[in-house]
Chains A and B, each alone.
Chain A
Protein backbone atom coordinates (compact mmCIF):
# COMPACT_ATOMS: atom_id res chain seq x y z
CA UNK A 1 0.00 0.00 0.00
CA UNK A 2 1.17 3.52 -0.79
CA UNK A 3 0.50 6.39 1.58
CA UNK A 4 -2.35 8.76 0.80
CA UNK A 5 -1.04 11.31 3.26
CA UNK A 6 2.38 11.67 4.77
CA UNK A 7 3.21 14.49 7.14
CA UNK A 8 6.51 15.07 8.85
CA UNK A 9 7.48 17.69 11.38
CA UNK A 10 4.33 19.76 10.81
CA UNK A 11 4.03 22.91 12.88
CA UNK A 12 1.61 25.79 12.75
CA UNK A 13 0.82 28.86 14.84
CA UNK A 14 -2.05 31.36 14.66
CA UNK A 15 -0.62 34.77 15.58
CA UNK A 16 2.01 33.18 17.77
CA UNK A 17 -0.37 30.68 19.42
CA UNK A 18 0.79 27.16 18.64
CA UNK A 19 -1.92 25.01 17.04
CA UNK A 20 0.20 22.15 15.64
CA UNK A 21 3.64 21.03 16.84
CA UNK A 22 5.93 18.39 15.33
CA UNK A 23 3.16 16.25 13.87
CA UNK A 24 4.33 13.12 12.02
CA UNK A 25 1.55 11.11 10.47
CA UNK A 26 1.08 8.67 7.62
CA UNK A 27 -2.30 7.53 6.32
CA UNK A 28 -2.40 4.67 3.83
CA UNK A 29 -4.66 4.47 0.80
CA UNK A 30 -7.74 2.54 1.76
CA UNK A 31 -7.20 3.21 5.45
CA UNK A 32 -9.85 4.83 7.65
CA UNK A 33 -8.46 6.99 10.41
CA UNK A 34 -10.28 8.78 13.22
CA UNK A 35 -8.79 11.89 14.78
CA UNK A 36 -9.82 12.45 18.40
CA UNK A 37 -8.97 15.22 20.78
CA UNK A 38 -10.43 17.91 23.03
CA UNK A 39 -11.70 21.22 21.71
CA UNK A 40 -8.88 23.38 20.42
CA UNK A 41 -6.54 20.38 20.01
CA UNK A 42 -5.86 21.29 16.38
CA UNK A 43 -8.00 18.68 14.61
CA UNK A 44 -9.69 21.09 12.21
CA UNK A 45 -6.39 22.85 11.58
CA UNK A 46 -4.68 19.57 10.69
CA UNK A 47 -7.55 18.58 8.40
CA UNK A 48 -7.50 21.99 6.65
CA UNK A 49 -3.77 21.52 6.09
CA UNK A 50 -4.36 18.11 4.47
CA UNK A 51 -6.98 19.78 2.24
CA UNK A 52 -4.44 22.40 1.16
CA UNK A 53 -6.39 25.28 2.72
CA UNK A 54 -3.96 26.21 5.51
CA UNK A 55 -1.27 28.81 4.82
CA UNK A 56 2.01 29.51 6.61
CA UNK A 57 2.68 26.13 8.22
CA UNK A 58 6.13 24.53 8.51
CA UNK A 59 7.35 21.00 7.82
CA UNK A 60 6.76 18.72 4.86
CA UNK A 61 3.43 17.37 3.64
CA UNK A 62 2.58 15.07 0.77
CA UNK A 63 -1.00 14.25 -0.20
CA UNK A 64 -1.75 11.74 -2.98
CA UNK A 65 1.92 11.80 -3.99
CA UNK A 66 2.07 15.55 -4.49
CA UNK A 67 3.82 17.96 -2.15
CA UNK A 68 1.62 20.59 -0.51
CA UNK A 69 2.76 24.18 -0.47
CA UNK A 70 2.50 26.29 2.67
CA UNK A 71 2.05 29.40 0.56
CA UNK A 72 -0.48 28.66 -2.17
CA UNK A 73 -3.53 26.48 -2.77
CA UNK A 74 -3.02 23.17 -4.61
CA UNK A 75 -3.75 22.92 -8.30
CA UNK A 76 -7.32 22.34 -9.50
CA UNK A 77 -6.78 18.63 -10.20
CA UNK A 78 -5.42 18.03 -6.73
CA UNK A 79 -8.19 19.97 -5.03
CA UNK A 80 -10.69 17.83 -6.94
CA UNK A 81 -8.93 14.62 -5.85
CA UNK A 82 -9.28 15.51 -2.16
CA UNK A 83 -12.88 15.51 -0.99
CA UNK A 84 -13.80 17.49 2.11
CA UNK A 85 -16.96 17.28 4.19
CA UNK A 86 -17.37 20.48 6.14
CA UNK A 87 -18.70 20.51 9.67
CA UNK A 88 -21.25 23.22 8.85
CA UNK A 89 -21.98 21.59 5.44
CA UNK A 90 -21.12 24.82 3.54
CA UNK A 91 -23.98 24.44 1.06
CA UNK A 92 -25.11 27.20 -1.31
CA UNK A 93 -28.45 27.86 0.37
CA UNK A 94 -30.45 29.16 -2.57
CA UNK A 95 -29.40 26.37 -4.91
CA UNK A 96 -31.19 23.08 -5.37
CA UNK A 97 -29.87 19.86 -3.89
CA UNK A 98 -29.02 18.77 -7.43
CA UNK A 99 -26.92 21.87 -8.17
CA UNK A 100 -25.19 21.68 -4.79
CA UNK A 101 -24.13 18.12 -5.56
CA UNK A 102 -23.23 19.13 -9.13
CA UNK A 103 -20.90 21.75 -7.59
CA UNK A 104 -18.74 18.80 -6.60
CA UNK A 105 -18.13 18.24 -10.34
CA UNK A 106 -16.69 21.73 -10.92
CA UNK A 107 -13.11 20.52 -10.62
CA UNK A 108 -13.77 17.62 -13.01
CA UNK A 109 -15.96 18.98 -15.77
CA UNK A 110 -15.13 21.20 -18.72
CA UNK A 111 -14.27 24.57 -17.26
CA UNK A 112 -15.77 26.88 -19.90
CA UNK A 113 -18.82 24.71 -20.43
CA UNK A 114 -19.63 24.90 -16.73
CA UNK A 115 -19.46 28.70 -16.80
CA UNK A 116 -22.30 28.59 -19.35
CA UNK A 117 -24.24 26.28 -17.05
CA UNK A 118 -23.48 23.18 -19.11
CA UNK A 119 -22.40 19.88 -17.60
CA UNK A 120 -21.71 16.74 -19.60
CA UNK A 121 -23.48 13.38 -19.53
CA UNK A 122 -20.89 11.87 -17.26
CA UNK A 123 -21.40 14.69 -14.71
CA UNK A 124 -25.16 14.06 -14.69
CA UNK A 125 -24.63 10.29 -14.44
CA UNK A 126 -22.28 10.63 -11.45
CA UNK A 127 -24.58 13.08 -9.66
CA UNK A 128 -27.58 10.82 -10.29
CA UNK A 129 -25.78 7.80 -8.86
CA UNK A 130 -24.52 9.69 -5.82
CA UNK A 131 -27.99 11.08 -5.09
CA UNK A 132 -29.35 7.54 -5.14
CA UNK A 133 -26.56 6.24 -2.87
CA UNK A 134 -27.21 8.98 -0.32
CA UNK A 135 -31.00 8.61 -0.48
CA UNK A 136 -31.51 12.11 -1.86
CA UNK A 137 -33.03 11.26 -5.24
CA UNK A 138 -36.50 12.44 -4.21
CA UNK A 139 -35.13 15.72 -2.85
CA UNK A 140 -33.08 16.66 -5.91
CA UNK A 141 -35.19 19.69 -6.82
CA UNK A 142 -35.60 20.94 -3.24
CA UNK A 143 -33.65 24.07 -2.29
CA UNK A 144 -30.85 23.51 0.22
CA UNK A 145 -32.35 25.98 2.72
CA UNK A 146 -35.51 23.88 2.89
CA UNK A 147 -33.84 20.74 4.25
CA UNK A 148 -33.49 19.28 7.72
CA UNK A 149 -30.07 19.09 9.35
CA UNK A 150 -29.68 15.41 8.56
CA UNK A 151 -30.66 15.93 4.92
CA UNK A 152 -28.19 18.81 4.59
CA UNK A 153 -25.51 16.55 5.99
CA UNK A 154 -26.23 14.02 3.27
CA UNK A 155 -26.05 16.72 0.59
CA UNK A 156 -22.61 17.69 1.89
CA UNK A 157 -21.52 14.05 1.67
CA UNK A 158 -23.06 13.66 -1.78
CA UNK A 159 -21.20 16.73 -3.06
CA UNK A 160 -17.94 15.26 -1.77
CA UNK A 161 -18.63 11.90 -3.43
CA UNK A 162 -19.61 13.58 -6.70
CA UNK A 163 -16.01 14.79 -6.83
CA UNK A 164 -14.98 11.13 -7.26
CA UNK A 165 -12.33 11.83 -4.63
CA UNK A 166 -9.22 9.75 -4.09
CA UNK A 167 -9.21 10.72 -0.42
CA UNK A 168 -12.00 11.86 1.92
CA UNK A 169 -11.47 14.30 4.77
CA UNK A 170 -14.42 14.93 7.09
CA UNK A 171 -14.50 17.46 9.94
CA UNK A 172 -16.87 16.24 12.66
CA UNK A 173 -19.29 14.71 10.17
CA UNK A 174 -21.64 13.44 12.87
CA UNK A 175 -21.42 16.10 15.57
CA UNK A 176 -24.98 17.40 15.08
CA UNK A 177 -26.76 14.09 14.67
CA UNK A 178 -28.71 11.79 16.94
CA UNK A 179 -27.01 8.42 17.65
CA UNK A 180 -28.91 6.47 14.99
CA UNK A 181 -28.23 9.06 12.31
CA UNK A 182 -24.60 9.40 13.35
CA UNK A 183 -24.11 5.71 12.74
CA UNK A 184 -25.84 5.84 9.37
CA UNK A 185 -23.74 8.77 8.21
CA UNK A 186 -20.45 7.18 9.28
CA UNK A 187 -21.55 3.99 7.56
CA UNK A 188 -22.29 5.99 4.42
CA UNK A 189 -18.88 7.70 4.38
CA UNK A 190 -16.73 4.73 5.31
CA UNK A 191 -18.80 2.40 3.12
CA UNK A 192 -18.38 4.67 0.09
CA UNK A 193 -14.65 4.90 0.79
CA UNK A 194 -14.28 1.15 1.12
CA UNK A 195 -16.17 0.60 -2.14
CA UNK A 196 -13.74 2.97 -3.88
CA UNK A 197 -10.67 1.75 -1.99
CA UNK A 198 -9.74 5.24 -0.85
CA UNK A 199 -8.54 6.67 2.45
CA UNK A 200 -10.67 8.51 5.00
CA UNK A 201 -9.68 10.82 7.84
CA UNK A 202 -12.48 12.05 10.06
CA UNK A 203 -12.48 13.98 13.31
CA UNK A 204 -14.91 13.28 16.11
CA UNK A 205 -15.74 13.81 19.75
CA UNK A 206 -17.18 10.31 20.09
CA UNK A 207 -14.40 7.79 20.93
CA UNK A 208 -16.65 4.75 21.03
CA UNK A 209 -18.29 5.42 17.68
CA UNK A 210 -14.96 6.34 16.10
CA UNK A 211 -13.40 3.04 17.10
CA UNK A 212 -16.25 1.13 15.54
CA UNK A 213 -15.88 2.73 12.13
CA UNK A 214 -12.15 3.52 11.89
CA UNK A 215 -9.24 1.12 11.39
CA UNK A 216 -7.02 3.40 13.37
CA UNK A 217 -7.46 6.08 16.02
CA UNK A 218 -5.12 9.00 16.59
CA UNK A 219 -5.34 11.20 19.68
CA UNK A 220 -4.35 14.83 19.24
CA UNK A 221 -3.91 17.29 22.04
CA UNK A 222 -2.38 20.76 22.13
CA UNK A 223 -1.24 20.23 18.57
CA UNK A 224 0.71 17.05 19.37
CA UNK A 225 -0.05 13.41 18.72
CA UNK A 226 -0.65 11.70 22.05
CA UNK A 227 -1.33 8.19 20.77
CA UNK A 228 -1.74 6.35 17.47
CA UNK A 229 -3.32 2.92 17.80
CA UNK A 230 -5.26 0.41 15.73
CA UNK A 231 -8.95 0.64 16.58
CA UNK A 232 -9.81 -1.78 19.35
CA UNK A 233 -6.45 -1.32 21.01
CA UNK A 234 -7.30 2.10 22.35
CA UNK A 235 -7.49 1.81 26.12
CA UNK A 236 -9.71 3.62 28.58
CA UNK A 237 -6.66 5.35 29.96
CA UNK A 238 -5.69 6.58 26.50
CA UNK A 239 -9.08 8.24 26.21
CA UNK A 240 -9.05 9.52 29.79
CA UNK A 241 -5.56 10.93 29.30
CA UNK A 242 -6.61 12.58 26.05
CA UNK A 243 -9.52 14.46 27.56
CA UNK A 244 -8.73 14.68 31.27
CA UNK A 245 -4.95 14.21 31.64
CA UNK A 246 -2.60 16.65 33.34
CA UNK A 247 -3.20 20.00 31.70
CA UNK A 248 0.02 21.64 30.56
CA UNK A 249 -1.59 25.08 30.35
CA UNK A 250 -0.75 26.62 33.77
CA UNK A 251 -3.80 28.90 33.64
CA UNK A 252 -6.14 25.94 33.56
CA UNK A 253 -4.39 23.84 36.25
CA UNK A 254 -6.48 23.27 39.34
CA UNK A 255 -4.67 24.33 42.49
CA UNK A 256 -4.95 21.61 45.13
Chain B
Protein backbone atom coordinates (compact mmCIF):
# COMPACT_ATOMS: atom_id res chain seq x y z
CA UNK B 1 0.00 0.00 0.00
CA UNK B 2 1.32 3.42 -0.85
CA UNK B 3 1.83 6.08 1.75
CA UNK B 4 -0.94 8.37 0.50
CA UNK B 5 -3.52 5.58 0.68
CA UNK B 6 -2.57 4.94 4.29
CA UNK B 7 -2.93 8.64 5.14
CA UNK B 8 -6.29 8.80 3.33
CA UNK B 9 -7.58 5.84 5.34
CA UNK B 10 -6.38 7.37 8.62
CA UNK B 11 -8.01 10.77 7.94
CA UNK B 12 -11.17 9.03 6.74
CA UNK B 13 -11.43 7.00 9.94
CA UNK B 14 -11.10 10.10 12.16
CA UNK B 15 -13.68 12.09 10.14
CA UNK B 16 -16.11 9.16 10.26
CA UNK B 17 -15.71 8.86 14.03
CA UNK B 18 -16.26 12.61 14.56
CA UNK B 19 -19.32 12.80 12.28
CA UNK B 20 -21.22 9.90 13.77
CA UNK B 21 -20.44 11.08 17.28
CA UNK B 22 -21.95 14.57 16.70
CA UNK B 23 -24.57 14.08 19.40
CA UNK B 24 -21.85 13.22 21.94
CA UNK B 25 -19.78 16.26 20.93
CA UNK B 26 -22.73 18.49 21.80
CA UNK B 27 -22.95 16.80 25.20
CA UNK B 28 -19.30 17.51 25.89
CA UNK B 29 -20.04 21.23 26.26
CA UNK B 30 -22.58 20.63 29.00
CA UNK B 31 -20.44 17.93 30.63
CA UNK B 32 -17.75 20.37 31.74
CA UNK B 33 -19.48 21.69 34.89
CA UNK B 34 -20.69 18.19 35.83
CA UNK B 35 -17.22 16.80 35.53
CA UNK B 36 -15.94 19.59 37.79
CA UNK B 37 -18.69 18.89 40.32
CA UNK B 38 -17.79 15.20 40.28
CA UNK B 39 -14.11 15.88 40.85
CA UNK B 40 -14.66 18.37 43.67
CA UNK B 41 -16.87 15.89 45.46
CA UNK B 42 -13.99 13.40 45.43
CA UNK B 43 -11.85 15.63 47.66
CA UNK B 44 -10.94 15.18 50.35
CA UNK B 45 -10.85 11.37 50.01
CA UNK B 46 -12.58 9.63 52.88
CA UNK B 47 -9.86 7.57 54.49
CA UNK B 48 -12.06 6.29 57.32
CA UNK B 49 -12.85 3.29 55.14
CA UNK B 50 -9.27 2.02 55.40
CA UNK B 51 -10.54 -1.31 56.71
CA UNK B 52 -12.55 -1.95 53.56
CA UNK B 53 -9.66 -0.73 51.44
CA UNK B 54 -7.25 -3.15 53.06
CA UNK B 55 -9.70 -6.02 52.84
CA UNK B 56 -10.31 -5.26 49.15
CA UNK B 57 -6.60 -4.98 48.40
CA UNK B 58 -5.86 -8.21 50.26
CA UNK B 59 -8.50 -10.07 48.29
CA UNK B 60 -7.20 -8.66 45.00
CA UNK B 61 -3.69 -9.71 45.98
CA UNK B 62 -4.93 -13.20 46.82
CA UNK B 63 -6.70 -13.48 43.48
CA UNK B 64 -3.53 -12.39 41.66
CA UNK B 65 -1.27 -14.74 43.64
CA UNK B 66 -3.48 -17.82 43.27
CA UNK B 67 -4.36 -17.01 39.65
CA UNK B 68 -0.65 -16.71 38.84
CA UNK B 69 0.17 -19.92 40.71
CA UNK B 70 -2.42 -21.97 38.83
CA UNK B 71 -1.44 -20.31 35.55
CA UNK B 72 2.21 -21.28 36.18
CA UNK B 73 1.19 -24.90 36.76
CA UNK B 74 -1.00 -25.03 33.64
CA UNK B 75 1.62 -23.16 31.59
CA UNK B 76 4.32 -25.68 32.47
CA UNK B 77 2.17 -28.36 30.82
CA UNK B 78 0.93 -26.29 27.89
CA UNK B 79 4.36 -24.72 27.43
CA UNK B 80 5.87 -28.16 26.86
CA UNK B 81 3.03 -29.06 24.48
CA UNK B 82 3.55 -25.80 22.56
CA UNK B 83 7.31 -26.26 22.22
CA UNK B 84 8.58 -26.71 18.69
CA UNK B 85 11.68 -28.54 19.84
CA UNK B 86 9.93 -31.06 22.08
CA UNK B 87 6.73 -31.71 20.11
CA UNK B 88 5.75 -32.60 16.58
CA UNK B 89 4.00 -29.90 14.49
CA UNK B 90 0.79 -31.94 14.77
CA UNK B 91 0.89 -31.16 18.49
CA UNK B 92 2.39 -27.71 18.92
CA UNK B 93 0.51 -26.04 16.07
CA UNK B 94 -3.01 -26.71 17.44
CA UNK B 95 -1.86 -25.99 20.99
CA UNK B 96 -0.44 -22.62 19.93
CA UNK B 97 -3.64 -21.81 18.04
CA UNK B 98 -5.63 -22.65 21.16
CA UNK B 99 -3.43 -20.39 23.30
CA UNK B 100 -3.82 -17.55 20.80
CA UNK B 101 -7.60 -17.91 21.05
CA UNK B 102 -7.44 -17.87 24.83
CA UNK B 103 -5.34 -14.70 24.70
CA UNK B 104 -7.85 -13.06 22.37
CA UNK B 105 -10.69 -13.22 24.91
CA UNK B 106 -10.64 -10.12 27.17
CA UNK B 107 -10.25 -10.87 30.86
CA UNK B 108 -13.39 -9.01 31.85
CA UNK B 109 -15.42 -11.19 29.51
CA UNK B 110 -13.89 -14.36 30.95
CA UNK B 111 -14.66 -13.05 34.44
CA UNK B 112 -18.33 -12.43 33.58
CA UNK B 113 -18.63 -15.95 32.18
CA UNK B 114 -16.97 -17.40 35.28
CA UNK B 115 -19.34 -15.47 37.57
CA UNK B 116 -22.17 -17.00 35.60
CA UNK B 117 -20.62 -20.43 36.01
CA UNK B 118 -19.57 -20.47 39.69
CA UNK B 119 -21.31 -17.45 41.26
CA UNK B 120 -20.01 -14.21 42.88
CA UNK B 121 -16.82 -13.92 44.92
CA UNK B 122 -13.07 -14.34 44.45
CA UNK B 123 -13.28 -17.85 42.97
CA UNK B 124 -14.49 -16.74 39.51
CA UNK B 125 -11.77 -14.07 39.61
CA UNK B 126 -9.07 -16.65 40.30
CA UNK B 127 -10.40 -18.90 37.54
CA UNK B 128 -10.58 -16.01 35.08
CA UNK B 129 -7.01 -14.88 35.82
CA UNK B 130 -5.77 -18.47 35.55
CA UNK B 131 -7.44 -18.96 32.17
CA UNK B 132 -6.43 -15.61 30.75
CA UNK B 133 -2.82 -15.65 32.02
CA UNK B 134 -2.16 -19.20 30.79
CA UNK B 135 -2.76 -18.02 27.22
CA UNK B 136 0.26 -15.75 27.49
CA UNK B 137 2.49 -17.55 29.98
CA UNK B 138 2.37 -20.94 28.22
CA UNK B 139 3.51 -19.24 25.01
CA UNK B 140 6.38 -17.54 26.87
CA UNK B 141 7.41 -20.82 28.50
CA UNK B 142 7.37 -22.60 25.13
CA UNK B 143 9.65 -19.89 23.74
CA UNK B 144 11.97 -20.24 26.73
CA UNK B 145 12.22 -23.97 26.02
CA UNK B 146 12.79 -23.42 22.30
CA UNK B 147 15.49 -20.82 22.91
CA UNK B 148 17.71 -23.18 24.89
CA UNK B 149 20.97 -23.54 22.97
CA UNK B 150 21.58 -27.21 22.21
CA UNK B 151 25.36 -26.90 21.81
CA UNK B 152 26.20 -26.63 25.52
CA UNK B 153 23.78 -29.45 26.34
CA UNK B 154 25.47 -31.71 23.78
CA UNK B 155 28.82 -30.72 25.30
CA UNK B 156 27.69 -31.87 28.74
CA UNK B 157 26.45 -35.16 27.31
CA UNK B 158 29.81 -35.60 25.60
CA UNK B 159 31.51 -35.01 28.96
CA UNK B 160 29.55 -37.89 30.48
CA UNK B 161 26.57 -36.06 32.00
CA UNK B 162 23.37 -38.08 32.44
CA UNK B 163 20.02 -36.80 31.12
CA UNK B 164 19.17 -35.41 34.56
CA UNK B 165 22.55 -33.73 34.87
CA UNK B 166 22.08 -32.21 31.41
CA UNK B 167 18.72 -30.85 32.56
CA UNK B 168 20.16 -29.50 35.81
CA UNK B 169 23.40 -27.99 34.47
CA UNK B 170 22.75 -27.38 30.76
CA UNK B 171 19.06 -26.70 30.19
CA UNK B 172 17.74 -25.23 33.44
CA UNK B 173 20.42 -22.50 33.82
CA UNK B 174 19.46 -21.26 30.36
CA UNK B 175 15.71 -21.33 31.01
CA UNK B 176 15.35 -20.31 34.65
CA UNK B 177 16.05 -16.56 34.40
CA UNK B 178 13.72 -16.23 31.40
CA UNK B 179 10.91 -18.15 33.08
CA UNK B 180 11.32 -16.22 36.32
CA UNK B 181 11.24 -12.89 34.49
CA UNK B 182 8.17 -13.85 32.46
CA UNK B 183 6.36 -15.08 35.55
CA UNK B 184 7.02 -11.89 37.53
CA UNK B 185 5.93 -9.83 34.54
CA UNK B 186 2.72 -11.85 34.27
CA UNK B 187 2.08 -11.51 38.01
CA UNK B 188 2.26 -7.75 37.73
CA UNK B 189 -0.24 -7.84 34.86
CA UNK B 190 -2.49 -10.18 36.84
CA UNK B 191 -2.42 -7.79 39.77
CA UNK B 192 -3.36 -4.79 37.61
CA UNK B 193 -6.05 -6.65 35.72
CA UNK B 194 -7.60 -8.23 38.81
CA UNK B 195 -8.22 -4.73 40.25
CA UNK B 196 -11.28 -4.34 38.01
CA UNK B 197 -12.64 -7.87 38.43
CA UNK B 198 -14.86 -6.76 41.32
CA UNK B 199 -16.88 -4.59 38.95
CA UNK B 200 -18.40 -7.74 37.43
CA UNK B 201 -18.63 -9.43 40.83
CA UNK B 202 -15.52 -11.56 40.54
CA UNK B 203 -13.96 -10.45 43.83
CA UNK B 204 -11.38 -7.92 44.96
CA UNK B 205 -11.23 -4.17 45.47
CA UNK B 206 -13.09 -3.38 42.24
CA UNK B 207 -16.33 -4.18 44.04
CA UNK B 208 -15.87 -1.14 46.32
CA UNK B 209 -15.40 1.26 43.41
CA UNK B 210 -18.56 -0.08 41.86
CA UNK B 211 -20.48 0.25 45.15
CA UNK B 212 -19.27 3.73 46.08
CA UNK B 213 -19.76 5.26 42.63
CA UNK B 214 -23.27 3.82 42.31
CA UNK B 215 -24.21 5.22 45.72
CA UNK B 216 -22.63 8.64 44.96
CA UNK B 217 -20.02 8.30 47.76
CA UNK B 218 -17.29 9.89 45.68
CA UNK B 219 -14.94 10.65 48.62
CA UNK B 220 -14.80 6.93 49.32
CA UNK B 221 -14.39 6.03 45.64
CA UNK B 222 -11.44 8.45 45.62
CA UNK B 223 -9.78 6.63 48.54
CA UNK B 224 -10.13 3.30 46.80
CA UNK B 225 -8.61 4.79 43.65
CA UNK B 226 -5.67 6.06 45.68
CA UNK B 227 -5.19 2.61 47.20
CA UNK B 228 -5.14 1.06 43.74
CA UNK B 229 -2.62 3.59 42.44
CA UNK B 230 -0.41 2.88 45.46
CA UNK B 231 -0.55 -0.87 44.83
CA UNK B 232 0.30 -0.53 41.15
CA UNK B 233 3.22 1.81 41.88
CA UNK B 234 4.48 -0.59 44.52
CA UNK B 235 4.34 -3.59 42.18
CA UNK B 236 6.17 -1.58 39.53
CA UNK B 237 8.88 -0.70 42.02
CA UNK B 238 9.30 -4.33 43.05
CA UNK B 239 9.46 -5.37 39.41
CA UNK B 240 12.15 -2.79 38.64
CA UNK B 241 14.22 -4.03 41.57
CA UNK B 242 13.80 -7.67 40.49
CA UNK B 243 14.58 -6.97 36.83
CA UNK B 244 18.21 -6.24 37.63
CA UNK B 245 18.64 -9.83 38.71
CA UNK B 246 17.22 -11.45 35.57
CA UNK B 247 19.84 -10.65 32.95
Q: Are A86 and B169 in contact (CB under 8 A)?
A: no
Binding site for B on A (CB under 8 A): 51-53, 73, 76-84, 86, 88, 90-95, 99, 103-104, 106-108, 111, 114-115, 159-160, 163
Identify which of B160, B162, B174 gathers the most chain A CB atoms within 10 Å of its CB.
B160
Main secondary structure of the interface of B (DSSP, over half): helix
Q: Can you spell out 24 A-B residue pairs with CB atoms less than 8 angstroms apart?
A: A76-B161, A76-B162, A79-B158, A79-B159, A80-B159, A84-B158, A86-B151, A86-B155, A90-B152, A90-B155, A91-B155, A93-B149, A95-B169, A95-B173, A103-B156, A103-B159, A106-B156, A106-B159, A106-B161, A106-B162, A111-B162, A111-B164, A111-B165, A115-B168
Cβ proximity bits B164-179 to A, threshold 8 Å, 1 near / 0 not: 1100111001100100
Whole-angstrom distance between the Cβ of B135 and the nearest chain A Cβ: 28
Give min CB distance, A160 to chain B, whole Å.
8
With A95-B173, A103-B161, A107-B160 known as contacts, the answer to whether A84 contacts B168 (CB < 8 A) is no
Measured CB to CB, the residues of B under 8 A from A are 149, 151-152, 154-162, 164-165, 168-170, 173-174, 177
- What are the residues of chain A within 8 A of B170 when measuring CB–CB? 92, 103
Residue of B nearest to A169 (CB): B158
A99: nearest residue on chain B (CB-CB)?
B169
A94 touches B174 (CB 8 A): yes
Given contacts A92-B170, A92-B173, A93-B174, A76 and B156 within 8 Å (CB-CB): no
Q: A53-B154, A84-B155 are in contact. List 4 more A-B contacts (CB 8 A).
A: A53-B158, A78-B160, A103-B159, A107-B161
A106 to B174, CA, bound (A): 17
Residues of A contacting B154 with CB < 8 Å? 53, 90
CB <8 Å contact, A103 and B160: no
Interface centre among A51, A82, A94, A108 (most CB of B within 10 A): A94
B161 contacts across to A, CB distance below 8 A? 76, 103, 106-107
Residue of B nearest to A100 (CB): B152
Residue of B nearest to A162 (CB): B159
Given contacts A90-B151, A92-B173, are A73 and B157 in contact (CB under 8 A)? yes
Cβ A163 vs Cβ B168 within 8 A: no
Contacting residues, chain B, for A95 (C-beta < 8 A): 169, 173
